[in-house]
Amino acid sequence: MRVVLLGPPASGKGTQGRALARHTQQTYLSTGALLREAVENQTEIGQTAEPILQRGEYVSDPLMCSILADWLQRNDSEKGWVLDGFPRTMPQAQFLDNWLGERQLRLHAAISLDVPFEELLSRVSGRVECPVCRWSGQRSDLTRSNRCPQCDGPAHSRKDDDPENFRSRYQEYERFTVPVVTYYREEGILIKVSASAPKPAVTKEILRQITQPTS
Ligand code: AMP
């Protein structure tokens, strides 16, 4: 099963993507987490991506597609994968279609997470991420000593999670990613899930819909 997760910033792609990959034993990739790690390690990709992430813009399609080509080559297996945050633009969706087509593979589903704008804004202000295991959640999920609940790492806010940056990322989402959602709807593989419910209920709904045939 090969699945992509789409949704505006703070819609829960990371949380739901990891949960889905765990339940279905698929490999998971968050392109956002990969870029943040590259920035932290100041690799060549990280140095290119850093100012773009700071502005809340999307990284260029050629760079993202080359990162994906490399990752897919190393990680594609019979079990498939869950891609969180790729594709985000139509050229990226085209790249993925070509990559799959060349291997006689297909995308099983595109999951679109829906959360009202005001709720996204409030989630962003309380969001924290662990730089060690890349767990992401709300400040209220941290341990009593303010550590990551998964690995006890020093979880902290993401640099790009201020309201101004969030608005810019949301605009990028509306401009470039909403057309991708429409494209997958037309392809008949879109699964739309309201992601305002508690996390386990959202995971359950995704699993329920993903095991049903799409129209
Ligand atoms: P995320 O962790 O999914 O919220 O992604 C954080 C940031 O990484 C985004 O706001 C973009 O700047 C960048 N990014 C992640 N994935 C992509 C992608 N597929 N295309 C372009 N930029 C991306």
| Average pLDDT rounded to a whole number, residues 156-184 | 94
- 176-195 burial string, b = 16+ CB within 10 Å, else e? bbeebbebbeeeebbbebeb
With a 6 Å cutoff on the Cβ, whether 12 touches ligand 1 is no
- Distance (Å) from CA 191 to ligand 1 centroid: 21
* pLDDT at residue 4, as a whole number: 98
Residue 215: is its pLDDT beyond 60? no
Nearest CA to ligand 1 atom 14: 32
Q: What is the pLDDT of residues 69-122, one digit of tens each?
A: 999 999 988 889 999 999 999 999 999 999 999 999 999 999 999 999 999 999
Residue 155: is its pLDDT beyond 60? yes
* pLDDT at residue 45, as a whole number: 97
Residue 158: is its pLDDT beyond 90? no
* pLDDT at residue 103, as a whole number: 94
Residue 201: is its pLDDT beyond 90? yes
* pLDDT at residue 119, as a whole number: 94
With a 6 Å cutoff on the Cβ, whether 11 touches ligand 1 is no
* pLDDT at residue 159, as a whole number: 82
Which amino acid appears at position 79 of this protein? K
* pLDDT at residue 213, as a whole number: 57
pTM: 0.92
- Distance (Å) from CA 144 to ligand 1 centroid: 31
Q: What is the pLDDT of residues 13-24, one digit of tens each?
A: 999 999 999 999
Confidence band for 54, pLDDT divided at 50, 70 and 90: very high
Residue 167: is its pLDDT beyond 60? yes
Distance of alpha carbon 171 from alpha carbon 211, whole angstroms: 32
Confidence band for 211, pLDDT divided at 50, 70 and 90: confident
